[in-house]
């Protein structure tokens, strides 16, 4: 079932054309990535989705025009409030929805273990490592129980090792929860590791230059054969992004 | 170590202060300067003790004026800063006026305010507010503007309205700025109250200094000065304490705890 459906979405800031007609679909339980060079307008697209900006084109959700509260949004970096304890950061979205703080805490507290944050409920965000902060931010995002997650380069600010660990962790989490998710990233490996499908954007003004299915079984970090296939897909996407003549890339998994 | 460290921190300042007092004492005693011109610190201290009842009687009204004026100033700074945050046009209308208010020479304004509002508490409150209001107001407005864009956008995406964003994000973001402004303005507060009393009051450190000066008692003037310094230092210390209590996260995580299982969960 198609949940999010964008058709020819455009956005310009004055004479600067940022999005030149983006069309994409996200189906229920699907993990989709938008991959593009820095400054391509990926974040602008999210701002259109969350309603922070107005653009042209059709944005529909479950067949109806997109209205307010469909998405739980996880911004770049973590946007944890340093003046709230970790648990109160996690409850923020629920409190905004009108839930009492105590009830929101009771809802969130049991999830801390699964997010690797057990024992840190009363800690300040400044006391957490980068990876833990991202997990707290993701916890704050998913407890809102919205229809779909919007993840805006969630691991972009992490060091390479922590990022790799977080990507594996997120893949595991996604496998058990099957959130419908749209991820923005410029990290090709991240997109291939996490996604069912990838939309590759051009540089500004952004349009979809390629749609790549990633039909690899999960978890994807286990076998060498999977890693080879993933690498082939990565190479093909990189060629598209860097404007090289594309080498033959299988759209379907090769059997080794 | 934890107990020794604060002492080690204030030791240089205490030494410098003691050195200054010693030099002053020696000058006054050995230089043959009359105590009606430059009294030695020991004499100031002795006279302060002898006149402690009168000093205390005049200190209380000053404390009252300082606290009442500062409370009004705080309330006004918060209210106006919030208004200005919601109505940017108001900011353009108000800020030139507020800046102009800071150019008024206190020497000229204090007697006028006393002339208009009498010898009671009100003119003191107004003058204390006049000198302390601006740093806090500016700090708050700058602090709101320093709110992280990502936090604001995230709150908006959660469905938060302007009020919610103000309370949940903009106000807490402004706290460090506010306390910086508070520490500046609180050092003006006592001086503002004394100035107001100097221009006309029944009781207070300001009027006490004036009469001591007119009676050729520089030792008592300096005793009152010492009291006002102690008052200001105490208020400053109180501001620092309140900041510690109001922002407990500030001292957290300077070292950052390690992540025991960053990679172990897939």
Rounded to a whole number of angstroms, the CA Rg of chain B reads: 24
For A184-203, how does the pLDDT look when each residue is reduced to its tens digit (9 = 90+)?
988 888 888 889 999 998 88
pLDDT at B265: 34
Strands A2-13 and A56-61: antiparallel
What is the ipTM score, two decimals?
A: 0.82
Q: Does B169 touch chain A (CB under 8 A)?
A: yes
CB contact under 8 A, B158 and A96: yes
Residue A172, pLDDT > 50, answer yes
pLDDT at A202: 84
CB contact under 8 A, B172 and A75: no
- Average pLDDT for A37-46: 82
Instruction: Label residue B130 exposed, middle or buried (CB < 10 Å: 0-12, 13-18, 19+).
Output: buried
Q: Does B172 touch chain A (CB under 8 A)?
A: yes
For A72-123, how does the pLDDT look when each residue is reduced to its tens digit (9 = 90+)?
888 888 899 999 999 999 999 999 999 999 999 999 999 898 888 999 999 9
What's the rounded Cα separation, in Å, for the pair A88 and A85? 5
Instruction: Label residue B9 exposed, middle or buried (CB < 10 Å: 0-12, 13-18, 19+).
Output: exposed
Name the closest residue on chain A to residue B162, using Cα atoms.
Answer: A96
CB contact under 8 A, B253 and A77: no
What's the rounded Cα separation, in Å, for the pair A84 and A89? 6
For A229-252, how does the pLDDT look when each residue is reduced to its tens digit (9 = 90+)?
888 888 888 888 887 554 555 555
**Which pLDDT band holds residue B7 (cuts at 50, 70, 90)?**
confident
Percentage of residues in chain B having pLDDT higher than 70: 92
pLDDT at B220: 93
Instruction: Say which of A72, A96, A172 has its CB closest to residue B160.
Output: A96
Residue A62: HSE in the Cβ half-sphere, 13 Å Cα cutoff: 7
For A125-143, how does the pLDDT look when each residue is reduced to its tens digit (9 = 90+)?
999 988 899 889 999 998 8
Please report, for chain A, the start and end positions of each structural domain, with discontinuous segments joined by +: 1-70+147-256, 80-146
Q: Does A123 touch chain B (CB under 8 A)?
A: yes
Instruction: Say which of B160, B252, B258 has its CB closest to residue A126.
Output: B252
- Average pLDDT for A10-20: 87
Q: Which of A44, A78, A79, A163 to mutate to test the interface with B (most CBs of B within 10 A)?
A: A79
Percentage of residues in chain A having pLDDT higher than 90: 25
- Average pLDDT for A157-168: 85
Q: Is pLDDT larger for residue A173 or for residue B170?
A: B170
- Average pLDDT for B161-178: 94
Q: Chain B residues with CB inside 8 Å of A77's CB?
A: 150
Q: Does B164 touch chain A (CB under 8 A)?
A: yes
Contact B144, B81 (CB under 8 A): yes
Instruction: Say which of B154, B249, B253 has its CB closest to residue A83.
Output: B249
Contact B98, B137 (CB under 8 A): yes
CB contact under 8 A, A219 and B155: no
CB contact under 8 A, B256 and A127: yes
Listed residue (A154, A75, A148, A139) closest to A105, CA to CA: A139
What's the rounded Cα separation, in Å, for the pair A137 and A75? 9
* Tokens of residue A122, six digits: 């009363």
Cis preceding-peptide flag for A219 (omega within 30 of 0): yes
Average model confidence (pLDDT) across chain A: 85
Q: Which helix (H) or strand (E) segment is A67 a member of?
A: none
For B41-88, how does the pLDDT look when each residue is reduced to its tens digit (9 = 90+)?
999 999 999 999 999 999 999 999 999 999 999 999 999 999 999 998
Q: How far is A166 from chain B (nearest CA, A)?
A: 7
Residue B189: HSE in the Cβ half-sphere, 13 Å Cα cutoff: 33
Contact A24, A208 (CB under 8 A): yes
- Going from the N-terminus, what domains does chain B have, and what CATH number goes with each? 39-248 (1.10.3720.10)
Contact A19, A206 (CB under 8 A): yes
Q: Does A23 touch chain B (CB under 8 A)?
A: no
For B113-152, how does the pLDDT look when each residue is reduced to its tens digit (9 = 90+)?
989 998 888 999 999 999 999 999 999 999 999 999 889 9
Percentage of residues in chain A having pLDDT higher than 70: 94
What's the rounded Cα separation, in Å, for the pair A36 and A44? 12
Q: Does B163 touch chain A (CB under 8 A)?
A: no
- In the sheet with A64-65, reading across from the earlier edge strand, the strands are A16-27, A2-13, A56-61, A64-65
CB pairs A-B closer than 8 Å: 105
CB contact under 8 A, B150 and A144: no
Listed residue (B91, B103, B170) closest to B131, CA to CA: B103
Name the closest residue on chain B to residue A125, using Cα atoms.
Answer: B253
Q: Does A19 touch chain B (CB under 8 A)?
A: no
Q: What architecture is domain A1-70+147-256?
A: 3-Layer(aba) Sandwich (3.40)
Name the closest residue on chain B to residue A91, using Cα atoms.
Answer: B158
CB contact under 8 A, B265 and A77: no
């Amino acid at each position: 079932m198609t949940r999010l459906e964008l058709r020819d979405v455009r956005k310009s800031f004055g004479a600067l054309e940022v999005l030149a007609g983006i069309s994409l679909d996200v189906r229920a339980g699907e993990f989709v990535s938008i991959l593009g060079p820095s400054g391509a307008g990926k974040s602008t697209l999210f701002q259109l989705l969350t309603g922070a900006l107005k653009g042209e084109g059709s944005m529909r959700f479950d067949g109806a025009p997109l209205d307010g509260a469909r998405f739980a949004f996880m911004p770049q970096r973590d946007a944890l409030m340093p003046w709230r304890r970790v648990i109160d950061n996690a409850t923020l979205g629920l409190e905004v929805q009108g839930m009492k703080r105590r009830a929101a805490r009771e809802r969130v507290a049991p999830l801390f273990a699964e997010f690797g944050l057990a024992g840190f409920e009363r800690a300040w965000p400044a006391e957490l490592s980068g990876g833990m902060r991202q997990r707290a931010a993701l916890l704050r995002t998913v407890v809102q129980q919205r229809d779909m997650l919007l993840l805006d380069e969630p691991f972009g600010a992490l060091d390479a090792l922590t990022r790799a660990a977080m990507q594996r962790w997120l893949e595991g989490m996604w496998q058990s929860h099957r959130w419908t998710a749209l991820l923005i990233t410029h990290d090709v490996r991240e997109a291939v590791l996490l996604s069912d499908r990838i939309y590759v954007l051009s540089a500004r003004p952004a349009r979809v230059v390629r749609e790549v299915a990633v039909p690899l079984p999960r978890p994807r970090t286990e076998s060498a054969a999977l890693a080879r296939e993933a690498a082939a897909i990565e190479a093909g996407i990189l060629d598209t992004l860097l404007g090289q003549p594309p080498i033959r890339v299988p759209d379907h998994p090769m059997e080794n | 170590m934890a107990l020794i460290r604060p002492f080690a921190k204030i030791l240089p300042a205490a030494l410098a202060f003691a050195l200054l007092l010693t030099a002053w004492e020696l000058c006054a005693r050995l230089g043959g300067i009359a105590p009606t011109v430059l009294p030695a610190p020991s004499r100031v201290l002795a006279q302060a003790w002898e006149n402690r009842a009168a000093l205390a009687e005049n200190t209380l009204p000053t404390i009252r004026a300082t606290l009442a004026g500062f409370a009004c100033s705080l309330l006004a700074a918060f209210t106006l800063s919030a208004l200005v945050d919601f109505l940017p046009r108001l900011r353009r209308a108000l800020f030139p006026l507020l800046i102009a208010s800071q150019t008024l020479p206190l020497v000229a304004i204090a007697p006028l305010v006393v002339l208009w509002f009498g010898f009671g508490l009100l003119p003191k409150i107004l003058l204390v507010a006049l000198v302390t209001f601006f740093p806090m107001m500016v700090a708050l407005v700058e602090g709101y503007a320093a709110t992280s864009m990502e936090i604001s956008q995230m709150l908006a995406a959660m469905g938060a309205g302007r009020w919610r964003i103000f309370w949940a994000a903009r106000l807490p973001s402004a706290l460090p700025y506010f306390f910086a402004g508070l520490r500046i303005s609180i050092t003006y507060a006592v001086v503002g109250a004394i100035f107001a009393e100097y221009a006309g009051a029944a009781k207070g450190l300001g009027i006490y200094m004036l009469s001591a000066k007119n009676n050729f008692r520089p030792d008592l003037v300096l005793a009152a000065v010492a009291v006002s310094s102690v008052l200001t230092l105490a208020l400053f210390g109180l501001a620092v304490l309140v900041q510690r209590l109001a922002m407990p996260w500030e001292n957290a995580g300077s070292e950052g705890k390690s992540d025991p299982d960053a990679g172990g969960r897939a």
